[in-house]
Amino acid sequence: MAVQKMKLVNILGPISLVDEAISKLCVNNNFHPESINDVVQNTKGFFPFDTANPYTQPLKKVTEILNKSGITPELRNFSSLNMNHSEINRLIDDFETSLGNLTTQLEKNEQQIKDNDQIMLQIRPIINTNITFEQLFNLEYIKFRFGRIPLDSFEILVNNGIDNTKYLYVISSKDKQYVWLMYFVPRQYEDRIDSLFASLHFERIRISDKVNGTPAETILAIENEQKKLYESNEKITKQINKFAKENKETLLLIYSKLKYESEAFEIRKYASHTNDSFYITGWIPEDMRHDFELKAEKLGISCIFEDPCDSLPTPPTKLKNIKLLKPFEEFVKMYGMPLYNEIDPTPLVAITYTMIFGLMFGDLGQGLVLALAGFALWLFKKVNLGRIIGICGLSSMLFGGVLYGTVFGYEDFLPGLKPLHNETHFYIALGGSIIIGVTLLLISMIINVINGIKQRNIEKALFSNNGIAGIVFYFSALLIVISMFLLNIDLLTLPFLSIFIIAPLLIIFFKEPLSHAISKHKEEKEKLSKTEFFLQNFFELFEVVLSYITNTISFVRIGAFALNHAGLMMFVFILSRMSGSSDNIFILIIGNLFVILLEGLIVGIQVLRLQFYELFSHFYSGDGKPFEAFTINFKK
């Protein structure tokens, strides 16, 4: 339940083995590549690899062949594919030619079918006329045109009435982009009107070679042609299906091999080489070292391992938690990954989120509904949030049954706290919330101290408001409040205030110069004048003291939401009894569902807010970089 330990591995070998090394050691092997420039101080003599990927074009071709064949790209074990790249490229070209001829003819037929459909649409408005197209084409005084015009251009033509006395148009059809029409124009205005329509992007369709006889005879002829085109398409489709059936496995083997090699080639951008050798570096989990060494030894490649240190780049972060805690990693990642030398807050989040949710939304019956719904989401839909909802539902059941004694809002079945019906229970709910908040804040500050020690950050561990000085001040201030209001003990003495209140505040005030003095580091920040230093630190100290108060009070919402839940259910029962002396089952069911959905969502958000703003702000940076193993995804 921590951040997984990492090792930096430096892979060196003959340049002739670079592809095999990448394939066997780096790809799908929990290897996080690191740029050589970030690891090696002096890269003189090292050269970057040519990053022009030779597999891009063949992969693109085979992907297009798969798409045209109707084959879904799938992963295949291509170890049985005994073909070199020259043979693969020749086979792809053959496939491309064979399939290309079929698809080209199919596309040509489809376009012809579309054009014929449009021609018939143009002709249908005059289908009942007895005049032949030969007569129309040879009219002495009138010319006509078929075609389409963009919709916005057609609106300009209609609205502006441009030369509308010189032509006559007949609309055949419309779609979202075009208006299909034919227009008639006297011969003396032919050039003028043709120019007008051309300026409006009219696309003319010439149909003189398609039409003979009357419009009815022409449509019959085109329909016969359409039938032949459809028959041709059916035949071509069968040929494509036959091609796909016969070559599917070979195509998928080639696709898998090329995709693997294409993506594996991308790791070269992290590598470098000399005239004889290659060099790749990256991070692996510490427990993989032995297996990694064995694989490298079989390949005849050297591996040099290094532990993380200040001279190396910051290692990536890989979380390692048991299955029960894994769902809560999503909340941690939402805030940001922990630094490599920072404590993983996932266990704390899992425990506190679950506990606080149950305290704020405690009901045995409603918790059962949440648990069932959450685990159903996970089991059937694989929604990761479903596991968190299910676990929180179990927490609601536990606190609802044991602490509050409520089942779907009924408080008579089980013993427990009834904060709305008992003044003592009311104060217990609010006071308990403060105690939980104080405990969690102290724990978060202790974690911050541990983080500071791990990071060798003296200011963070000792002098910050969340370090030892902050803990002493916060705990002492709590003792003063408890002693005054609960124990009637006066701790407001000069020695106590001087040692446990004033001294910690002064340490926090002078944290920067103190840490620089101890660590003997020069200040990198812009040097402030004494006045600026005191003013800035005074307001920062005031904000720190105020944050202690607000962070503590913020946890009152735990008890407040417990009271709110009881109040909402009381309102539901009042509504259910307004129509009679007994409870209305329908209203109770609707009311419970409403409370589960609305309050469950609000409580979930509020608990997450407590995690991020009240706890994480005291110890967690979230500035780590995630461990991203170089993997090849065949699902794309």
pLDDT of 636 higher than 60: no
Q: Is the pLDDT of residue 126 over 70?
A: no
Residue 183 lies inside a defined structural domain of this protein? yes
Residue 612: which H helix or E strand, with range? none
Phi and psi at residue 46, to the nearest 5°? -100, 140
> Lowest-pLDDT range, 56-60, 270-274, 602-606?
270-274
In the block, tokens 């699902």 appear at 635
Res. 524: pLDDT tops 70? no
Give the pLDDT band (50/70/90) at residue 32: very high
In a domain, 595, yes or no: no
User: What mean pLDDT comes out for the span 434-440?
Assistant: 93
Lowest-pLDDT choice from 19-28, 355-364, 464-473? 19-28
Q: Cα–Cα distance between 337 and 399 in angstroms, integer?
A: 31
| 234-245 average pLDDT score | 90
Q: State mean pLDDT over 493-509.
A: 89
Residue 466 identity: N
Integer CA distances (angstroms), 49 to 18, 22, 265, in order: 10, 13, 10
54 pLDDT band, cuts 50/70/90, is: confident
CB distance 316 to 629 below 8 Å: no
pLDDT at 516: 79
Q: What is the mean pLDDT of residues 572-589?
A: 80
Percent of the chain surpassing pLDDT 90:
31
**Higher pLDDT among residues 186 and 52, named by residue:** 186
Confidence check: pLDDT of 421 > 90: no
pLDDT band at 316 (very low <50, low <70, confident <90, very high): very high
Q: How far, in whole angstroms, is CA 520 from its chain's centroid?
A: 44
Q: How many residues does the chain have?
A: 636
Which residue would you say has higher pLDDT here, 174 or 226? 226
Asked whether residue 151 is domain-assigned, the answer is yes
Q: What is the full DSSP assignment across 455-469?
A: TT-HIIIIISTTSHH
Which one is predicted more confidently, 553 or 129?
553
Q: Alpha carbon of 618 to those of 116, 443, 449, 607: distances in Å? A: 73, 10, 10, 16
Tell me which DSSP letter residue 317 carries: B
Inside any domain, residue 519: no
Give the domain CATH number at 199. 3.30.70.2750
Residue 242 lies in a domain: no
Write down the pLDDT at residue 439.
Answer: 94
CA 281 – CA 123 distance, rounded (Å): 71
Q: Is residue 148 part of a domain?
A: yes
The token pair at 186 is 């006297």
Within a domain: 478: no
User: Rounded to the nearest 5 degrees, what angle is found at the Cα of 90, between the Cα atoms of 88 and 94?
Assistant: 115
Report the number of distinct structural domains present in the chain: 1
Amino acid at 552: T
Please give the mean pLDDT across all residues of the chain. Answer: 86
Residues 122-131 have a mean pLDDT of 69
The three-state (H, E, C) secondary structure of 209-266, written as one string: CCCCCCHHHHHHHHHHHHHHHHHHHHHHHHHHHHHHHHHHHHHHHHHHHHHHHHHHHH
pLDDT, position 359: 92
Give the residue numbers spanning the domain of 185: 133-211
| Token pair of 530 as six digits | 């004494």
- The pairs formed by 427-433 with CB atoms below 8 angstroms and a separation of 24 or more are 429/559, 429/562, 429/563, 430/556, 430/559, 430/560, 431/559, 432/558, 432/559, 433/359, 433/555, 433/556, 433/557, 433/558, 433/559, 433/560
Contact 442, 471 (CB under 8 A): yes
Cα–Cα separations (whole angstroms), residue 94 to 70, 98, 183: 18, 6, 49
Task: Please report the pLDDT score of residue 41 as a whole number.
Answer: 66
Q: What is the mean pLDDT of residues 259-277?
A: 85
pLDDT at 208: 58
pLDDT-derived band at 450, boundaries 50, 70, 90: very high
Within 13 Å and on the Cβ side, how many CA atoms surround 631? 8
Quick one: pLDDT band at residue 176, thresholds 50, 70, 90? confident
pLDDT for position 43: 63
pTM check: above 0.75? no
Is the pLDDT at 523 greater than 60? The verdict is: no
| DSSP state letter for 80 | G
Half-sphere exposure of 304 (CA within 13 A, CB side): 7
For the stretch 339-387, pLDDT in tens is 998 999 999 999 999 999 999 998 999 999 999 999 999 999 888 899 9
> Does residue 36 fall inside a structural domain?
no
* pLDDT over 80 at 420, yes or no: no
Q: Is the pLDDT of residue 623 over 60?
A: yes
pLDDT at residue 272, as a whole number: 87
Residue 522 confidence (pLDDT) above 80:
no
Whether residue 182 is predicted with pLDDT greater than 60 in this model: the reply is: yes
